[in-house]
C-alpha cells in the first residue's frame, strides 16, 4: 500500500493549502553524513504544566511531548503525510474511516510493544480530554482487528483526521501506564517517569527551569536519533536566552518574533534564522473579550474598541514591519481565508461617538468606565507591548484600562480557564485546519473552563450550524463557502479583535544540521537533527 493514500478530494485540500502561500522547503540533508552525539539546548520562554500533549495544547507542552511520544504520522513541508508509527494508512473514500498499519518494531521506552490497543486508547483519550474537542469529535470508536492495525471509525466525514495524526496533536500513550483509571489530565506520569515511544526519554523535568531528555536507544527508526540529549532551557527572560544563543550555550531558539532580536540575530554570523516551519501552526495575535461582562457584552462597545486600534501602527512601528495585520479568524495563508470581512479602520473620534451613542458618556474626568487587560506571558512583543498600546489608545476615548501581568503561563491560563478577565491579549494557532484550531474558539458547545476553548463565551446558533456543517464536508471548495459566511458573521459580532499574524522564526546555530522546517517546524520530532 502506498504511504500517501489521500483520496482525490483530500488531495485537493493539500493543493489548496499549497496555493495559499509560500511554504518552507524541506531541511536540506547535510553534505556530510549525520554524526552521532552532542547535547542540543533549546531556549523557551513558556513553562509547561506537564509533558503530555494528549491532554494539553500549546508550545510549552508540544516541544517536549513531540520528543517523548511518537504519533501515527508526521508531515513534510508540502503538507504531505509521512510514515511514523504507522508505516502506511488509508483514508476511506467517504471520509468516515482511517486505517493505520503500524510498524511491528515499535516499542515504548520501557520495552513494551506499541500495539493497536495503545493507538485506540490514545485516540479515545484525546477525544475525551484534549481541549480541541472538534479535532476528534466525529470519532466513534477505534477497531483493532490485530495488534498492528487500527481503524478509526467516524460518524461523519472528517476532512481533518489525517492532519490530526500529527506529532503535537496525536501522541500515542502506553495503555498499560495511562489506562489505570486515573484522571488523565492530572495523571502523575504526565510529569514524572514519562514513558512514550518517541526519539528521546525523559531524564528530568523541573517546572519553570528545564526539561532534560536523552536518546532513546530503542527508537523504532534505525540509527536515530543522532543527538545524545535535548535540553529545553526555560526562562521568561528572552534577553537571557538571546545572550545564551550568542555565547553558544543555547543552540536553538524557536518561536522567536521580537523585531529587535530578529534584526540583531540576522547580523550574527554564528546563527541562521528562518520563518520556515510555521505554516501548519497559523499563529494569530488577538484581543479577546469576555462577553459575559458588562460593558463588553454590548456589541457597540466592542466595535468602538476595535475602531480605536491602529493595526498598521502595531505591525509597522511596534513589530518593526516583520508582522502583517490580521482581519479574520482564519490565517491569511489558509485556503479557507476570505477577504469579505467586516473591518474597523482606526478613527478615535468615531469610536468616542459610538460609546456616546451606546450610553456610555464621559464623566467629569473624561472617564467612561474601567476595564482590565491580561496578556500571555513570554511573548512581550506580541502581547505585553500591544496590551500597553491598547491601554493608551482606549484612554483617548475615555476607557481606563489596567494591564494585568501573570507570573507565568499556568497563572494566565488559570485566569482564562476560569473566565476571570475582561479583555486579554492571546496568541492562538489555526493548527493547519479550521476544524482543529478555529472551531474551538467559536462553538457554543466549547464554552468550558479550559484555556484555548471558547473562553469568550461567544454563542451564535448560526455560527454553530455553519461550523458543524463545514466540519463534515470533504470537498474544500464547498467547505470554503461555509467558512466565508462564518468569517463575515464573526468579524461583525466581534468576540475578538484580530490584530496580526505572528512573525515566528527559528534561530539556530550554524553548527546544527537538519533543523526542522516542515509545516510543524519546532513541534516536530528532532530525530534527524545533528551537530556538524
DSSP states of 105-135: S-B-TTSPBP-HHHHHHHHHHHHHH-S-TTT
pLDDT digits (tens, 9 = 90+) for 270-302: 999 999 999 999 999 999 999 999 999 999 999
pLDDT score, position 19:
33
Distances (CA, A) of 15 to 4, 10, 50, 78, 502: 14, 9, 36, 9, 24
Q: Please, which residues have CB within 8 angstroms of residue 328's CB and are 6 or more apart in sequence?
A: 337, 338, 341, 487, 490, 491, 498
Total length of the chain: 532
Element (H, E) at 41: strand 39-44
Selecting from 3.40.430.10, 2.60.40.1250, 3.90.190.20, 3.10.105.10, what CATH number does the domain 283-501 have? 3.10.105.10
Classified by CATH at the fold level, domain 24-278+505-531 comes out as: D-Maltodextrin-Binding Protein; domain 2 (3.40.190)
pLDDT score, position 116:
98
pLDDT (mean) for 484-504 = 97
**Strand partners of residue 100:** 89, 150
Q: Is the confidence at residue 74, as pLDDT, over 50?
A: yes
pLDDT score, position 3:
33
pLDDT (mean) for 508-513 = 96
DSSP category for residue 186: G
DSSP states of 57-81: -SHHHHHHHHHHS--SEEE-TTS-E
Neighbouring CB atoms inside 10 A of 440's CB total 26
pLDDT digits (tens, 9 = 90+) for 208-247: 899 999 999 999 999 999 999 999 999 988 888 989 998 9
Q: Which of 43, 429, 55 shows the shortest CA–CA distance to 248? A: 43
CB 189 within 8 A of CB 109: no
pLDDT (mean) for 138-147 = 98
pLDDT score, position 128:
96
pLDDT digits (tens, 9 = 90+) for 442-487: 999 999 998 999 999 999 999 999 999 999 999 999 999 999 999 9
**Between 8-19 and 476-493, two packed helices, what is the crossing angle to 10 degrees?**
50
Lookup: cell for 352? 468616542
DSSP category for residue 513: E
Mean residue pLDDT across the chain: 92
Q: Where are the domains of the chain?
A: 24-278+505-531, 283-501
Grouping H, G, I as helix, E, B as strand and the rest as coil, residue 388 is: helix
Amino acid at each position: 500500500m502506498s504511504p500517501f493514500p489521500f483520496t482525490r478530494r483530500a488531495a485537493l485540500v493539500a493543493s489548496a493549502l499549497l496555493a495559499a502561500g509560500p511554504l518552507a522547503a524541506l531541511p536540506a540533508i547535510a553534505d556530510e553524513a549525520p554524526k552521532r552525539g552532542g547535547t542540543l539546548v533549546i531556549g523557551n520562554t513558556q513553562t509547561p504544566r506537564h509533558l503530555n500533549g494528549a491532554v494539553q495544547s500549546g508550545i510549552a507542552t508540544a516541544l517536549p511531548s513531540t520528543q517523548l511520544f511518537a504519533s501515527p504520522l508526521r508531515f513534510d513541508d508540502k503538507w504531505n503525510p509521512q510514515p511514523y508509527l504507522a508505516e502506511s494508512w488509508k483514508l476511506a473514500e467517504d471520509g468516515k474511516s482511517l486505517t493505520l498499519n503500524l510498524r511491528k518494531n515499535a516499542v515504548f521506552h520501557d520495552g513494551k510493544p506499541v500495539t493497536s490497543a495503545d493507538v485506540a486508547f490514545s485516540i479515545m483519550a484525546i477525544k475525551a480530554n484534549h481541549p480541541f474537542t472538534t479535532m476528534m469529535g466525529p470519532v466513534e470508536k477505534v477497531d483493532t482487528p490485530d495488534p498492528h492495525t487500527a481503524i478509526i471509525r467516524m460518524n461523519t466525514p472528517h476532512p481533518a483526521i489525517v492532519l490530526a495524526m500529527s506529532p503535537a496533536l496525536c501522541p500515542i500513550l502506553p495503555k498499560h501506564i495511562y489506562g489505570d483509571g486515573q484522571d488523565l489530565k492530572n495523571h502523575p506520569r504526565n510529569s514524572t517517569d514519562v514513558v512514550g515511544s518517541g526519539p528521546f526519554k525523559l531524564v528530568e523535568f523541573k517546572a519553570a527551569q528545564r526539561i532534560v531528555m536523552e536518546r532513546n536507544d530503542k527508537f523504532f527508526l534505525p540509527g536515530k536519533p543522532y543527538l545524545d540529549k535535548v535540553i529545553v532551557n526555560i526562562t521568561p527572560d528572552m534577553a537571557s536566552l538571546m545572550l545564551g544563543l550568542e555565547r553558544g550555550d543555547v543552540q536553538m531558539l524557536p518561536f522567536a518574533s521580537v523585531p529587535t532580536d530578529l534584526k540583531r540575530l540576522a547580523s550574527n554570523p554564528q546563527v541562521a534564522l528562518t520563518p520556515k516551519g510555521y505554516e501548519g501552526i497559523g499563529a494569530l495575535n488577538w484581543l479577546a473579550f469576555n462577553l459575559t461582562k458588562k460593558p463588553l457584552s454590548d456589541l457597540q462597545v466592542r466595535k468602538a474598541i476595535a475602531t480605536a486600534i491602529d493595526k498598521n501602527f502595531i505591525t509597522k512601528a511596534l513589530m518593526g514591519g516583520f508582522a502583517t495585520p490580521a482581519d479574520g479568524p482564519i490565517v491569511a495563508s489558509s485556503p479557507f481565508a476570505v477577504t469579505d470581512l467586516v473591518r474597523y479602520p482606526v478613527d478615535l473620534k468615531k469610536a468616542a461617538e459610538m460609546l456616546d451613542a451606546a450610553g456610555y458618556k464621559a464623566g467629569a474626568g473624561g472617564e467612561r468606565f474601567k476595564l482590565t487587560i491580561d496578556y500571555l506571558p513570554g511573548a512581550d512583543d506580541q502581547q505585553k507591548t500591544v496590551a500597553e498600546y491598547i491601554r493608551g489608545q482606549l484612554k483617548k476615548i475615555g476607557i481606563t484600562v489596567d494591564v494585568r501581568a501573570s507570573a507565568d503561563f499556568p497563572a494566565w491560563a488559570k485566569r482564562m480557564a476560569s473566565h476571570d478577565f475582561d479583555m486579554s491579549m492571546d496568541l492562538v494557532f489555526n493548527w493547519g485546519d479550521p476544524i482543529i484550531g478555529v472551531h474551538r474558539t467559536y462553538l457554543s458547545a466549547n464554552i468550558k473552563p479550559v484555556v484555548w476553548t471558547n473562553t469568550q463565551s461567544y454563542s451564535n446558533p448560526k455560527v454553530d450550524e455553519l461550523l458543524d456543517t463545514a466540519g463534515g464536508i470533504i470537498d474544500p471548495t464547498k467547505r470554503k463557502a461555509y467558512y466565508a459566511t462564518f468569517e463575515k458573521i464573526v468579524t461583525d459580532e466581534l468576540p475578538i479583535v484580530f490584530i496580526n499574524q505572528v512573525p515566528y522564526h527559528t534561530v539556530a546555530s550554524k553548527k546544527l544540521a537538519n533543523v526542522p522546517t516542515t509545516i510543524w517546524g519546532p513541534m516536530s520530532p528532532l530525530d534527524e537533527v545533528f551537530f556538524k
